[in-house]
């Protein structure tokens, strides 16, 4: 099932080009965004 929150995180990462910039923009830790991406692969 598609999780739109994860899709949004993916979009921000691709737009920013780096996890660190995306994390700053989303006001989240890099590890959190990275974990969300790994979770989506399963």
Express each pLDDT in 1-42 by its tens digit. 678 988 898 999 999 999 999 999 999 999 988 887 666 555
Query: Nearest CA to 13 among 31, 34, 39?
Result: 34
Give residue 35's pLDDT.
82
What is the Cα–Cα distance from 20 to 14, expressed in whole angstroms? Answer: 11
- What's the pTM? 0.75
* Residue 10 per-residue DSSP state: H
Domain ranges for the chain: 4-41
Coil, strand, or helix at residue 12? Answer: helix
CA distances (Å), origin 29, targets 5, 9, 40: 15, 12, 17
Angstrom distance (rounded) from CA 18 to CA 20: 5
């Amino acid at each position: 099932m598609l999780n739109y929150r994860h899709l949004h995180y993916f979009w921000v990462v691709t737009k920013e080009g780096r996890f660190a910039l995306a994390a700053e923009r989303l006001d989240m830790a890099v590890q959190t965004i990275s974990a969300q991406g790994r979770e989506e692969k399963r």
